[in-house]
Amino acid sequence: MKRLTLELPDEFVSLCKEDHTDPETVLRGFIADLCGLMDWVNDPRADGYSSNGSDERRMAYDYYARVGYPYWRLYEADEE
């Protein structure tokens, strides 16, 4: 597993605070949904990542694809 240190914008931290959740929970949830990481009751993940459900997994990937992340490498190759 790779560790990342990330500075979070105050707006994101404030939004999470207003909703009584912490930024780590939101980011872990999005990552788990995007990657389809499941934490089954009978076989929980040691790292604590767990998808929030099938709709959330679909919407996370829809966002990822809509932004175009899967295609960025194609654009970078065109610029070289």
Is pLDDT at 4 greater than 70 in this prediction? yes
HSE-up of 38 (CA within 13 Å, CB side)? 6
The reported pLDDT for the residue numbered 35 is 97
The Cα–Cα gap between 9 and 62 comes to 24
Q: Which residue has the higher pLDDT, 74 or 55?
A: 55
Which tens digits make up the pLDDT trace of 10-69? Answer: 999 999 999 999 999 999 999 999 999 998 888 889 998 999 999 999 999 999 999 999
The Cα–Cα gap between 29 and 23 comes to 10
